[in-house]
């Protein structure tokens, strides 16, 4: 089965820690060092997909990646968790698909709980009669 989680983070130690924690849970994950790399990996993700996105990265930052996501016809297939030392509630209004903003540093258990929740919603969305993909509405 294809991965449905993408970590876009330029900090190698933090990216590896997140990846290891998810792999330890048996969760397949792809990783990217910047937004440009993340953009090239999107076609490899099974949708719906969850992006764990740092905002401050080289080459293409998280803000630019959010803009590119907004332009994609499959944009509704992505949910985004922003991970940044500087988190502002404005991201919920300006960035479609952003479901949460997490201020660094945060406990790995927080992100694991969020990922488990996403995977549970994703599994329920495959059950007949569950049509909204787990989103409120």
- pLDDT given at position 136: 35
Domain assignment of residue 58, yes or no: yes
For residues 76 and 37, what is the distance between their CA atoms, to the nearest angstrom?
Answer: 20
CATH number of the domain to which 80 belongs: 3.40.50.2300
How confident is the model over 66-95, as pLDDT tens digits? Answer: 888 888 888 888 888 888 877 665 655 566
Domain assignment of residue 136, yes or no: no
137 pLDDT higher than 50: no
Give the number of domains in the chain: 1
- CA distances in angstroms from 97 to 2, 49, 75, 90, 132, listed in the order given: 21, 10, 8, 13, 14
How confident is the model over 35-57, as pLDDT tens digits? Answer: 999 999 999 988 888 999 888 88
Q: Are 43 and 84 in contact (CB under 8 A)?
A: no
How confident is the model over 120-133, as pLDDT tens digits? Answer: 887 887 644 333 33
Report the largest interatomic distance among the alpha carbons of the chain, rounded to a whole angstrom: 43
Domain that residue 34 falls in: 5-125
Domain assignment of residue 67, yes or no: yes
How confident is the model over 94-103, as pLDDT tens digits? Answer: 666 788 888 8
């Amino acid at each position: 089965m294809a991965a449905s989680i993408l970590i876009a983070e330029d900090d190698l130690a933090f990216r590896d820690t997140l990846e290891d924690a998810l792999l330890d849970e048996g969760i397949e994950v792809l990783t990217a060092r910047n937004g440009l790399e993340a953009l090239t990996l999107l076609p490899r993700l099974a949708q719906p997909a969850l992006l764990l996105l740092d905002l401050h990265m080289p080459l293409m930052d998280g803000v630019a990646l959010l803009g590119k996501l907004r332009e994609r016809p499959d944009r509704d297939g992505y949910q985004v968790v922003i991970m940044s030392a500087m988190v502002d509630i404005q991201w919920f209004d300006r960035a479609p698909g952003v479901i949460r903003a997490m201020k660094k540093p945060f406990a790995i258990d927080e992100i694991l709980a969020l990922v488990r929740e996403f995977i549970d919603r994703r599994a329920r969305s495959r059950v007949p009669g569950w049509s909204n993909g787990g989103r409120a509405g």
